[in-house]
Amino acid sequence: MLDDAKIYEQYDPGDVYSLLYNFHEEFRLGREITESSDYMNIDSSGIGKIVVAGMGGSAIGADLLKCYALYELRKPLFVNRDYLLPGFVDDETLVILSSYSGNTEEMLSSLEAARYLGAKLFAITSDGQLTSFAEDLRFGYVQIPGGLPPRAALGYSFVPLTVLMSVWGFIPKQNEAIENTIYSLHKGAEKLAKDIPTSDNTAKKLAQKIYGKLPIIYSSPRLEAVATRFRGQISENGKALAYSSVLPEMNHNELVGWKNLYDFGKYIQPIFLRDPDDHPKNKFRMDFVAQVMKENGCEPIFLEPAELDAPFMTRMFELIQLGDFASYYLAILNKEDPKPVKIIDRLKAELGKL
């Protein structure tokens, strides 16, 4: 089915495929836009902590940055997915408002809370109310291109944040890592393209393995956001449930639950995301857990980047690209249009009545 060119015309009228294929361009343009923005109005010397307020596809970029810069970030970073802000927010806190549409209601509520608490403000958005607030209240913002599903604008949420953290001095310069990732994503798209037959296409093979099953994605803490991205893309693109969990934490609770799977076990597809820099004991834990799963009738899938010597950013996004393409091919297998998220639109409409 996945090697039938006509099937994509039928189930992908919005051409989500092109967004996946050209994803590397978001990295290039995202960096250029950010470097020409008015980021200099932030005095980083007076910032003690950072909060990124956003939801869904607008927040995952911050999750990825937090994992990526875990051992380099010189200030604590908190990703806020709620209407209110944590109690530690004060006038030494930088609150970065990340909303692709600029109209996300949780983010706008966080904006009001940040103003009340006296926090410093900055924004990343394509337009909407957030742009108006930034201009009226005179705080800086990066205006990214609009017109995409937020989940397809990951490059525009991750790269601007990463560049900003760099120019503000919170992490080292990232030019080389970004350039390497652009090249890798470009080459990776060619290998995962829809005209590459299933026999040679890793993403198509992965989609077939998770088709009709419940994927549970496991990773070490450094790849936790990548696992979250896998889960979200399978749900939004593929219109199917998926879950994710992190080692070593799952070894202290969830592992015990693998004893009694009942008849449901045959519908579970464990996926382990591995990185060469994972802690040796976490690597051992993954192997141990995989053996437990096999003993209970589940055959785990292990995924790791092909470029083991590449910068960590590149390795992260190689796995993300694989998950994105696999979720797209899963949508085709499910005979679903990967672009619309009708139930979310329905929820927003109902919330609008409150």
Q: Residue 174 is encoded by which pair of tokens?
A: 């990232």
pLDDT-based confidence at 40, cuts 50/70/90? confident
For residues 98 and 161, is the Cβ–Cβ distance under 8 A?
yes
d(CA 112, CA 121): 11
Q: Where are the beta strands (DSSP E) in the chain?
A: 49-53, 77-80, 93-99, 120-125, 140-143, 214-219, 243-246, 268-273, 301-303
Find the catalytic residue in 187, 279, 335, 348.
348
User: Parallel, antiparallel, or unpaired: how do β-strands 93-99 and 49-53 relate?
Assistant: parallel
Q: What is the pLDDT of residues 193-240, one digit of tens each?
A: 999 999 999 999 999 999 999 999 999 999 999 999 999 999 999 999
Which residues neighbour 9 within 8 Å (Cβ) at sequence distance 6 or greater?
none
Find the catalytic residue in 236, 239, 318, 339.
236
For residues 189 and 58, is the Cβ–Cβ distance under 8 A?
no
Q: What is the pLDDT of residues 238-265, one digit of tens each?
A: 999 999 999 999 999 999 999 999 988 9
Q: Is 319 exposed, middle or buried (0-12, 13-18, 19+ CB in 10 A)?
A: buried
Active-site residue flag, 348 = yes
The CATH code of the domain at 37-173 is 3.40.50.10490
The mean predicted confidence, pLDDT, of the chain is 95
Question: pTM for the whole thing?
Answer: 0.95
d(CA 206, CA 317): 17
Predicted pLDDT of residue 345: 85
Predicted pLDDT of residue 290: 97
pLDDT of 354 higher than 90? no
For residues 117 and 20, is the Cβ–Cβ distance under 8 A?
no
pLDDT of 94 higher than 90? yes
Q: Residue 350 is encoded by which pair of tokens?
A: 């109902």
Predicted pLDDT of residue 288: 97
Please name the residue that has the structure tokens 């070593």: 248
Predicted pLDDT of residue 352: 82
**Length of the chain in residues, anyone?**
354
Q: Reduced to 3 states, what is the DSSP secondary structure of residue 340? A: coil
pLDDT-based confidence at 115, cuts 50/70/90? very high
Active-site residue flag, 236 = yes
Which residues neighbour 108 within 8 Å (Cβ) at sequence distance 6 or greater?
99, 129, 130, 133
Find the catalytic residue in 252, 259, 342, 353.
252
- Is the dihedral angle over the CA atoms 252, 258, 260, 263 positive or is it negative? positive
d(CA 191, CA 344): 32
Q: What is the pLDDT of residues 269-322, one digit of tens each?
A: 999 999 999 999 999 999 999 999 999 999 999 999 998 899 999 999 999 999
pLDDT-based confidence at 191, cuts 50/70/90? very high
Please name the residue that has the structure tokens 């978001």: 26
Active-site residue flag, 105 = no
> What fold characterizes domain 5-9+195-333?
Rossmann fold (3.40.50)
Q: Where are the beta strands (DSSP E) in 164-238?
A: 214-219
- Locate CATH 3.40.50.10490 in the chain: 5-9+195-333, 37-173
Predicted pLDDT of residue 278: 96
pLDDT-based confidence at 341, cuts 50/70/90? confident
Q: What is the pLDDT of residues 140-162, one digit of tens each?
A: 999 999 999 999 999 999 999 99
Predicted pLDDT of residue 349: 85
Order across the sheet with 77-80: list the strands.
77-80, 49-53, 93-99, 120-125, 140-143
For residues 338 and 16, is the Cβ–Cβ distance under 8 A?
yes
Peptide bond into 248 cis (omega under 30): yes
pLDDT of 135 higher than 90? yes
